[in-house]
Amino acid sequence: MSHKGDKKEYAVVVRNLSFRYSNQDANVLESVNLDIKRGEKVAIVGPNGAGKTTLLLNINGILRGYEGYIEIFGRRIDGRRSRKEIVRDVGMVFQDPDDQLFMPTVFDDVAFGPLNLGLSEDEVRTRVKEALRMLHIEDYEDKNPHRLSFGERKKIALATVLAMKPRILLLDEPTANLDPRSRSELISILKWLNESNDFTMIIATHDVNAIPDIADRVFVLNRRIIAEGTPREIFSDAELMEKTNLEVPDVMKLFELLRCFGFNCDELPLSIDDAVEALTKIIETSDGRHIHLHIHEHTHHGVERLRERWKYEHHL
């Protein structure tokens, strides 16, 4: 299945992956297929219990007893033999930082991974410094994780993984449970990581608003892969959104509403950045250098339809 070309090109290849927890009757994952190119940033979305975390754990080689085939940089992962390679290549940031941070101080926690890679003491120290600096948390070295806020712990959990310099970064709901400011900060960190590093990222998330900013491609998972495409392709598929209980980003909703008021754009912006670009382009190319909105008979009807589609009306 792996051709020579694949080895260079693909970071992660998953074929017909099925997985069942030993204490459950049904498969949590059912013939999942993924091809993720080197350097690609992909998001995995799906409802609670869809198996996102399970999929990430499988790619990280932690769960035993899967059926199918998983390949990291062209090498199949199977059993104990390649554990070391996986640890070197793949880093995972867990959903709950309290699961990840177990040492008495931040320094020890961030140093834990690099030490396990067998790096020299000096190298470990510089890596810890670097990782903490990247996230602007240099002062936290001697702190006890318990005394830090959830957002701070989340950043430290990310630092513990970045210090290992993985080539593939798995993030399990990086923006969940953060206050709005910490969330924005984390998204900008991820964007920055995206631009300044050539690693591959797989992000499991419910945060549809963040997806256009941090991912080039989206997989919709619900036990099996239901759909796959660019954020635009996925969010434009109204039927898919309805079927999988997914929502489109707020910016996209807003512009769809504006359409009912006569705003004319062929491509709905997905993110704030997109919106700025789209507005600039439209205003600059219009005659009077302004945009024009109006209310016609069809406006109310259109708005009603959208509100219904987005479930803003509750009917008994």
- By the criterion CB under 8 A, which residues form the site for another protein? 57, 60, 62, 84, 87, 90-92, 94, 96, 98-105, 107-108, 111-113, 115-117, 121, 124-125, 142, 144-146, 160-161, 164
Candidates 43-51, 156-164, 242-250, 293-301 — which segment interacts with ligand ATP by CB under 6 A?
43-51
Residue 285 lies near ligand ATP (rule: CB under 6 A): no
- Of these partners, Mg ion, ligand ATP, another protein, none, which one is at the site of residue 23 (CB under 5 to 8 Å by kind)? ligand ATP
Question: Could you tell me the smallest distance in angstroms from the CB atom of residue 30 to ligand ATP?
Answer: 12
Question: Could you tell me the smallest distance in angstroms from the CB atom of residue 173 to Mg ion?
Answer: 6
Residue 53 lies near Mg ion (rule: CB under 5 A): yes
Question: Could you tell me the smallest distance in angstroms from the CB atom of residue 61 to ligand ATP?
Answer: 16
β-pairing verdict for 10-19 and 29-37: antiparallel
Question: Given the complex with ligand ATP, which of 49 and 118 has the nearer CB atom?
Answer: 49
Candidates 20-28, 33-41, 189-197, 212-220 — which segment interacts with ligand ATP by CB under 6 A?
20-28
Q: How far apart are CA 46 and CA 205, in angstroms?
A: 8
Question: Could you tell me the smallest distance in angstroms from the CB atom of residue 171 to Mg ion?
Answer: 11
- Of these partners, Mg ion, another protein, ligand ATP, none, which one is at the site of residue 254 (CB under 5 to 8 Å by kind)? none
- Site residues for ligand ATP, 46-65, by CB under 6 A, read 46, 48-54
Question: Could you tell me the smallest distance in angstroms from the CB atom of residue 94 to another protein?
Answer: 5
Question: Given the complex with ligand ATP, which of 177 and 280 has the nearer CB atom?
Answer: 177
Please identify which residue in 1, 3, 4, 24 interacts with ligand ATP, judged by CB under 6 A. 24
Question: Given the complex with another protein, which of 20 and 224 has the nearer CB atom?
Answer: 20
